[in-house]
A and B are shown apart, each in its own frame.
Chain A
């Protein structure tokens, strides 16, 4: 079975632009979470979605938004990009999204903002 897949793997944007990152969860998984990992730091929680509804949101500005589709895939959108948005964006999926479920992470999308 395929794991969590993310696209694209690498992306270069300039300040002020908009970006869309995509994630396909493991088949059968209904929950998708997004994390931002700045170089040298641990991942930080951005969003969790379950059954197309936002279940939780981390401490990120409104420039960050996400959605989940009927097939449980997800998009993360970032508007008005800043240099500080340069990071590895990780998507994780789980069956139901409950606290002690195992999370499966994708390899991430490396975003560089110039």
Chain B
């Protein structure tokens, strides 16, 4: 079956520090990969996505590259801000799971950025 493994949290950084959140996946088909962000009291928001190997998703200074050879989709940002404090979820959607749009999520990584 499909699964997503994220680095254990929480992660605490100072403003302007470099961020990496590791994500690896297991899938039987050809998954699309996503990063979602959840701010306190809110639902999940799509941050970025990549649909095939070597694709790079990017948004709001965040980047992640779909690495099929290492089954990874690590999230990076060069300089974090206090407003980036949130929970980040890596997720996959397998094109071969039939017609259902089913996302498989990792357990989430809590990021706190200190001023």
A98 closest partner in B (C-beta): B101
Interface bin, chain B: 20 to 34
CA distance A81 to B56 in the complex (A): 43
**Which of the segments B11-19, B73-81, B105-113 contacts the partner chain?**
B105-113
Q: Which label, helix, strand, loop or mixed, suits the secondary structure of the A interface?
A: loop
Whether B43 contacts A100 by the Cβ 8 Å rule is no
Given A48-B101, A48-B102, also A4-B43 (CB < 8 A): yes
Whether B100 contacts A56 by the Cβ 8 Å rule is yes
Interface bin, chain A: 20 to 34
Chain A residues in 8 Å Cβ range of B22: none
Whether B32 contacts A100 by the Cβ 8 Å rule is yes
From A41, A94, A100, contact of B107 by CB (8 A): A41
Given A90-B44, A107-B41, also A42-B106 (CB < 8 A): yes
From A42, A55, A99, A107, contact of B43 by CB (8 A): A107
Whether B103 contacts A103 by the Cβ 8 Å rule is yes
Whether A45 contacts B32 by the Cβ 8 Å rule is no
Interface positions of B from 70 to 115, Cβ below 8 Å from A:
89, 91, 93-95, 97-108
Whether B102 contacts A107 by the Cβ 8 Å rule is no
Whether B101 contacts A94 by the Cβ 8 Å rule is yes
Does B4 lie at the interface of the complex (its beta carbon under 8 Å from any beta carbon of A)?
yes
A88 closest partner in B (C-beta): B43
Ordered by A's residue number, 25 sampled pairs between the chains whose C-beta atoms are within 8 Å are A40-B107, A41-B107, A42-B4, A42-B91, A43-B103, A43-B105, A44-B105, A45-B100, A45-B103, A48-B102, A55-B101, A56-B97, A56-B99, A56-B101, A92-B44, A94-B101, A97-B101, A98-B101, A99-B93, A99-B94, A99-B95, A101-B101, A103-B103, A106-B43, A107-B43
User: Which A residues have a C-beta under 8 Å from some C-beta of B?
Assistant: 4, 31, 33, 35, 40-45, 48, 55-58, 90, 92, 94, 97-103, 105-108
User: Which B residues have a C-beta under 8 Å from some C-beta of A?
Assistant: 4, 32, 41-46, 49, 51, 89, 91, 93-95, 97-108
